[in-house]
Amino acid sequence: MNHDRCAHGTRTPIHLERHGAGQCTPRQARSRQGTADPPRPEHGGRGHRRAEVDGCITLANAQLRLDVAPSLGGGITRFDWRHQGASVPIFRRCRDVGPNTDPNQLACYPLLPYSNRIGNGAFEFSGRAIAVPCNRPGEPLPLHGDGWLRAWHVEEQDATHVRMSLDRSAGEPYAVRASQTYALDEATLVVTLGIENAGDQPMPFGLGLHPFLMREADTELSAAAGGLWLCGDDRLPVRHVPAPPAWQFGVAYPMPSSMVNNAFTGWSGRTSVLWPKRRLSLTIAADTDYYVLYAPPGEDFFCFEPVDHPINAVNLPGGGAAHGMTVLAPGERLSREFRFTVERTGEAARRTRPKTRAGSKARAAAR
């Protein structure tokens, strides 16, 4: 969404790998050249047209259904819980699926090689001036990188799993190879994002997801955080403050009736969304310290975006590395995991809280 994003917090362990030209480790997705779609223009209103999109994929098991559109940023168009013959939407469904679908009408899309906006479309890193071009009509600043605006190549798939790749090794200033994997594991959707520095200079990288969750009158959120970033009129961060009582979300709390459009810091990496009338809950787990909450009043969705760095991190004091981003040398790779588990209300409370966060162990593989 084109909304304010600002955040601050501590860094977490990451997955790092180093690859040489022509070499792959078991965790590295095979890279293929994908067809690069140009950025799509703004799409107003809520469409109801359903058109054919080449290569759409449906994954399903007894409990979940997931529809993925590789040509639309590798994004999700539908994520449902299946129960007694019915499909209940967990993410807001994409109502207008077609070649020109606006990414913000999707159910979820990836954020890479950075999340949110970069102030002035430029930053300094290691003594170099880095210019980042605008990538979206009507947006004065570069937004979310270009993974959400490009077609992805399907590397492998089966009934409950798909792995895709994106080759932007000729990109500027970010030359990258990326992978995106969706897997259904009983009642859990596991999303894994990976990115490799395919350039010839170190650069700061970041990852995140942008899901649109269903919002009803009784929807509750539990997402404890220590603070948040306030933004200026230019949607860039200006001040970090403690989370106010009404927005601390330490326990399940009704969604605020006023606008929330902020990045939160000091997140535990675990969140619960409750739909009491549906008797459903969603547990979100990620190896990141930040999340962006966008909750516009009167809408049938809200966005809970697990990310590993704040808006404009590259221009905050200390640079991106001081604010959650990961500096990758040429050939190094960063990966993060996001888990979405759907349960009947009451079942989630009986589950044992995991001792470690998803994907929190650092791993390195030498060339």
CATH assignment at residue 340: 2.70.98.10
Q: What's the confidence (pLDDT) of residue 96?
A: 85
- Sequence-distant (≥ 6) Cβ neighbours of residue 192 within 8 angstroms: 179, 180, 181, 183, 335, 336, 337, 338
Tell whether 329 is covered by a domain.
yes
Q: What's the confidence (pLDDT) of residue 347?
A: 57
Tell whether 221 is covered by a domain.
yes
Q: Which domain holds residue 195?
A: 15-365
DSSP, residue by residue, 242-280: EPPGGG--SS-EEPPSS-EEEEEES--SEEEEEETTTTE
Tell whether 9 is covered by a domain.
no
Q: β-pairing, 237-242 with 290-295?
A: unpaired
Tokens 């929190």 correspond to 360
Domain count across the chain: 1
Q: What's the confidence (pLDDT) of residue 305?
A: 97
Q: Which amino acid is at 103?
A: P
Give the whole-angstrom CA distance, residue 9 versus residue 240.
10
Give the whole-angstrom CA distance, residue 106 versus residue 160.
20
Tell whether 259 is covered by a domain.
yes
Q: What's the confidence (pLDDT) of residue 338?
A: 99
Q: What's the confidence (pLDDT) of residue 163?
A: 99
Exposed, middle or buried, 95 (CB in 10 Å: 0-12/13-18/19+)?
A: middle
Tell whether 58 is covered by a domain.
yes
Give the whole-angstrom CA distance, residue 332 versus residue 328.
5
Tell whether 1 is covered by a domain.
no
Look up residue 66 and give its two tokens: 């997931």
Q: Which amino acid is at 179?
A: S
Q: Which amino acid is at 129?
A: A
Give me the tens of pLDDT residue by residue for the chain, a chain 367 residues long. 544 333 333 333 334 444 333 322 323 333 333 333 333 333 333 333 334 456 789 999 999 999 999 999 999 999 999 999 999 999 999 998 888 899 999 999 999 999 999 999 999 999 999 999 999 999 999 999 999 999 999 999 999 999 999 999 999 999 999 999 999 999 999 999 999 999 999 999 999 999 999 999 999 999 999 899 898 888 888 899 998 888 888 888 899 888 888 889 999 999 999 999 999 999 999 999 999 999 999 999 999 999 999 889 999 999 999 999 999 999 999 999 999 999 998 655 445 444 434 443 333 333 3
Please state, in angstroms and as integers, the Cα–Cα distance from residue 166 to each residue in 30, 54, 307, 309, following that order: 10, 17, 20, 22
Tell whether 4 is covered by a domain.
no
Tell whether 155 is covered by a domain.
yes
- Predicted model pTM: 0.81
Give the whole-angstrom CA distance, residue 148 versus residue 166.
11
